[in-house]
């Protein structure tokens, strides 16, 4: 798998849960498996083929699956660049007592790994565009 001009995580520790090993034009590499569509990831679960295909498509209904996983914080990766969701969507998740951090998907992958390794209840909602 090629992760040219992309991040490749070299020091990996799978003992805390599902770990993102790489991200690039070929998709997201999690535990040796490549995903080419948007996905939701927690240390315990992988929900592949998450529906928003672009940050502009993100709606409250898409975040229901994320909130159902009961994270303390959601790391939202919005593709190749940071795109803030509609304020209605953003505040909807905050009203449920869940923190949300919005960043490009590469930064979201790195942040998820850090929070996961710290034992935090984190969910990554990663959009590939």
Is residue 40 in a domain? yes
Is residue 27 in a domain? no
Is residue 15 in a domain? no
pTM of the model: 0.89
Which residue spans within the chain are E strands per DSSP?
7-8, 20-24, 27-30, 33-35, 39-41, 46-47, 73-77, 99-103, 122-126
Is residue 59 in a domain? yes
Q: Which structural domain range is residue 119 located in?
A: 36-126
| pLDDT per residue as tens digits for the range 12-43 | 455 679 999 999 988 999 999 999 999 999 99
Is residue 89 in a domain? yes
What does the alpha-carbon distance between residue 109 and residue 44 come to, in Å, rounded to a whole number?
Answer: 16
Is residue 46 in a domain? yes
What CATH number did the domain enclosing 94 receive?
3.40.1230.10
Overall domain count for the chain: 1
| pLDDT per residue as tens digits for the range 82-120 | 999 999 999 999 999 999 999 999 999 999 999 999 999
Is residue 8 in a domain? no
């Amino acid at each position: 798998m090629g992760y040219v001009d992309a991040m490749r995580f070299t020091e990996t520790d799978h003992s805390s849960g599902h770990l993102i090993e790489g991200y690039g034009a070929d998709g997201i590499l999690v535990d040796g498996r490549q995903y080419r569509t948007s996905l939701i990831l927690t240390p315990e679960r992988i929900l592949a083929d998450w529906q928003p295909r672009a940050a502009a498509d993100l709606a409250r209904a898409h975040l229901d699956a994320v909130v159902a996983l009961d994270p303390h914080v959601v790391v939202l990766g919005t593709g190749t660049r940071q795109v803030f969701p509609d304020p209605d969507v953003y505040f909807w998740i905050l009203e449920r007592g869940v923190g949300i951090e919005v960043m490009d998907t590469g930064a979201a992958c790195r942040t998820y790994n850090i929070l996961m390794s710290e034992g935090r209840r984190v969910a990554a909602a990663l959009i590939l565009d």
